[in-house]
Amino acid sequence: MADHRAGRPARLAPEGCLAQRAPTARPDGQLQAVLLDRDGVLNVNRPDHVTRAEQWRWLPGALDACARLTGLGLRLAVVTNQAAIGNGLLTAHELDRIHDHMAADLAAVGVPRPVILHCPHPSAARCPCRKPRPGLLTGALDRLGVRPAQTLMVGDHETDMMAATAAGCWSLHVRSGRGGPPAAQPGCLGSVPALREAAELVAAFATTDWRRPPLPRPDGRHPGPGAARKKEGARP
């Protein structure tokens, strides 16, 4: 949850903060963490907002995708705009209930509770934590103890890609939420159908140097690891 009194994300409770744990040792250059938008990436994006835990509906394959990502040794964080709070449609207490419900489902498939940060303000407030500004992402990076260049942001909207660019992270668009691929952004790897395919892409290139990541093809498919090795071994 974000604390906007000082313009910085609040400290997380120790049981919910992956940054309290020793980081998984991964070679320099490899991906370390994945930041996830929430609505349209993890759960079905409702036009009237998710305002009660009972309204939460996982997108097909999203739970398994999270398990696959953590199985690769990657850290997860959820970074979400929740203007429904600022607009009086949702309370902070109910948002906590929604996220507790989400975390319980993740725990059931072996995924530790991720870092969860949100911005409660509508766009008119111009909050530095509201995407497309980078505050939520930089807060998550601090808590995870990872560098932007080794972090991938997965989102369903152009504002997610813009926030990733502003924070210095890579990004990947999924089409499971609010429409088709956004305009090109520096560091955006392309567009895939949903989080399941995003996890497949990450798994295929888990040992790749992400300082020079491969790009998904425009149809959302990607070359296999063998193709990546061939490309890396090619001579100019």
Q: Distance between CA atoms of 65 and 215, rounded to whole angstroms? A: 20
Residue owning tokens 């990450």: 202
> In this structure, what token pair is assigned to residue 130?
């509201």
Cis ω on the peptide bond leading into residue 181 (within 30° of 0)? Answer: no
The length of the chain in residues reads 236
Query: How many angstroms separate the CA atoms of 134 and 185, rounded?
Result: 14
Distance CA 158, CA 14 (A): 32
CA–CA separation, 150 and 173 (whole Å)? 17
Give Cα 119 distance to the centre of its chain: 15
Known catalytic residues are: 37, 39
